[in-house]
Amino acid sequence: MLRQAGRKYIRVIQGECHVSDDPDVVLTTILGSCVAACIRDPEIGVGGMNHFLLPGDASRISPTSEAERYGAYLMEVLVNGLLRRGASRHRLEAKLFGGASVVKSLSPIGLLNAEFAKRFLATEGIRIVSESLGDERGRRVEYRPVSGHARQLFVEAPAEIVEAPPPSLAASAPGAIELF
């Protein structure tokens, strides 16, 4: 935890979840294809964030796959953490971030993560109050679990590396020294 200007910054990494009712806490994370669900009960001021990436081959993710069980587990850990602190399931509201297609050539895992999160929340009757999903850029997210305020900064992806063909020997500059 980092303390700065009276605030306590807690970083939530992939596979983790953090719940707090401390108004000074700011939950932070950096997302690419992963999704962070930020859920809170506005009436009692308790909230939390998880950060997940469905594992495995995106082409094999289905509503009953092992990957979905993993995602459901991490969502349930967050919801149960809120309920343990006195939150009421019917008051919960969510903000979703992430699910980017950071590397174009990879399978659409970011999209599938985002779809999973939305499907889970719809099934559980948890209202989505805002979302920033998809795109091709990573995100830096800050979430205050008590007020529900969220800030997002897009992180530009590095330029794609274009592999150049190896120079031919005939094209070598005159006088070049060949090293073995």
Partner 1 sequence: MSIAAQLKVLVVDDTTTSRMLVIDALQEIGFRQITYASDGQKALKHMMTTPAHLVISDYEMPGLDGVGLLQGIRAYQPTRHVPFVMVTGRGDKALIEKARQFGLNNFVTKPFTVASLKAALQAIIKGL
Judged by the rule CB under 8 A, the positions of this chain that interact with partner 1 are 63-64, 66, 68-70, 72-73, 75-77, 79-80, 83-84, 89, 120, 123-124
In sequence order, what DSSP letters do the residues of 94-112 get, joined into one string? EEEEE----STTS-SHHHH
Q: How far apart are alpha carbons 160 and 42 in whole angstroms?
A: 42
Nearer to partner 1, 54 or 102 (CB): 54
Catalytic residue among 12, 17, 34, 150: 34
Q: How many residues does the chain have?
A: 180
Tell me the closest approach of the beta carbon of residue 54 to partner 1, in angstroms.
11
- Identify whether 17 is a catalytic site residue: no
Residue 49, SS3 per DSSP: strand
Q: Which residues contact 58 (CB under 8 A, 6 or more apart)?
A: 107, 108, 109, 112
Tell me the closest approach of the beta carbon of residue 48 to partner 1, in angstroms.
15
Nearer to partner 1, 55 or 167 (CB): 55
Q: How far apart are alpha carbons 14 and 79 in whole angstroms?
A: 17
Tell me the closest approach of the beta carbon of residue 53 to partner 1, in angstroms.
13
Nearer to partner 1, 19 or 79 (CB): 79
Q: Catalytic site residues?
A: 34
